[in-house]
Amino acid sequence: MRFETKCVHTGVDKDGTFNSCTTPIYTTSTFYWDSLESHKGFDYTRSGNPTRSAMEENIAALEGGISCRATATGMAAITLVMHLFKPGDHIIAGDDIYGGTYRLFADVFTKWGITFSFIKMSDTETVKSAITPETKAIWIETPSNPLLNLVDIQAVTKIASAADSDIITIADNTFCSPYLQRPIEFGVDIVLHSTTKYLNGHSDVVGGCVVSRTEELAERVAYNSNALGLGCSPFDAWLVLRGIKTLAPRMEAHQRGAIALARMLETHPKVERVYYPGLESHPHHDLAKRQQDGFGGMLSFDVKDGRPVAEKVMLNSKLFLLAESLGGVESLIEYPESMSHASMTQEARRAAGITEKTVRVSVGIESPEDLVADLKQALDS
């Protein structure tokens, strides 16, 4: 099946009793056994649930993995992956990753004895030089949040495999979704998502997932997910599975609006710089064309004159809601300095290139003409 067909049909046809065209929600916490030794595949919803399994089957098929485990939040997915490591391990990550990921790494797991190097991941030589004998993983976020820098996925996986067979590569694919990018095809070992975002697409659920490329990793992830109790609820799984059915047409709509906005912003006198891989001026435009099937619905831009102008633009918009998160059908605008990346130190934000001028936009599925007109009037004001 092609991608759009998988979105609609994989994991859906599970009701043999009444032939429901949608996946049922199994809200039960426990399942009765047939005997002391056997049951029908599920015993307790923390360990597994038919609705959650249906969603996991769907996402694994879309990403090209052999297994998926769904979690209660996107941060729970990252936490699940981090439990593959132990004190003394070293992990390489980008310096411009999502603020919540940075906080978890820098403030929580460092206390467990895991060390991190936050580097410019777009430079493969910098990635090579950051590897130490203790390195166990390279954390890839591409495009990065919020500056839309790209990482050459295939180059990094080759670096990891050439350096040490024990180094695994992990990709956060939230910004692109599997519709636009499938890191496993480039050799990545683990792919994760905040399913809150594009996979769900309607801003009405929080969730995450971890997709594994190998049986060995799948078994470890599944064991830890059950042991830690990180699984998402059946209703949340049902909402995400419902949202995935329209992933393909939604991503096309997001992209149409994003490129229209990016082109307007690139010529506006109040805008200093636009961060969008779909623009020919973006330094990683050619890489985006090689490893992505489109340029996505996220963009950021720097305004001239800093925070006062940024604040006026965000508050004067009529269609862009001032809110964190991304990937929903409605357009959102936010200020990384005090919102999505406030958990990073100012020093870390500046090193990553996030300044008081930076504004991040999640482009919804509204009319591109309306979005352009609204953001333009906000800038003009």
Percentage of the chain exceeding pLDDT 90: 96
Asked whether the predicted pLDDT for residue 122 surpasses 80, the reply is yes
Strands (E), the chain: 67-71, 90-94, 115-119, 135-141, 168-172, 190-193, 208-212, 271-275, 298-303, 321-322, 332-334, 358-362
Helix (H), strand (E) at residue 127: helix 124-130
Whole-number pLDDT of residue 102: 96
pLDDT digits 0-9 by tens, 196-243 = 999 999 999 999 999 999 999 999 999 999 999 999 999 999 999 999
The arithmetic mean of pLDDT across residues 39-67, rounded, is 96
Asked whether the predicted pLDDT for residue 338 surpasses 80, the reply is yes
Computed over every residue of the chain, the mean pLDDT equals 96
Percentage of the chain exceeding pLDDT 70: 100
Q: Taking the domain 3-244, which CATH number applies?
A: 3.40.640.10
Give the active site residues. Answer: 46, 98, 172, 197
Asked whether the predicted pLDDT for residue 145 surpasses 80, the reply is yes
- CB hemisphere CA count around 147 (13 angstroms): 26
Where along the chain do the CATH 3.90.1150.10 domains lie? 248-380
Asked whether the predicted pLDDT for residue 15 surpasses 90, the reply is no
CA distance 236 to 54: 12
- The amino acid at residue 94 is G
Strands (E), 266-343: 271-275, 298-303, 321-322, 332-334
Where along the chain do the CATH 3.40.640.10 domains lie? 3-244
The arithmetic mean of pLDDT across residues 321-347, rounded, is 95
CATH 3.90.850.10 fits 248-380, yes or no: no
Whole-number pLDDT of residue 165: 80
Band of pLDDT at residue 28, cut at 50, 70 and 90:
very high
Whole-number pLDDT of residue 90: 98
Whole-number pLDDT of residue 40: 86
Band of pLDDT at residue 37, cut at 50, 70 and 90:
very high
Asked whether the predicted pLDDT for residue 164 surpasses 80, the reply is no
pLDDT digits 0-9 by tens, 275-308 = 999 999 999 999 999 999 999 999 999 999 999 9
Whole-number pLDDT of residue 88: 98
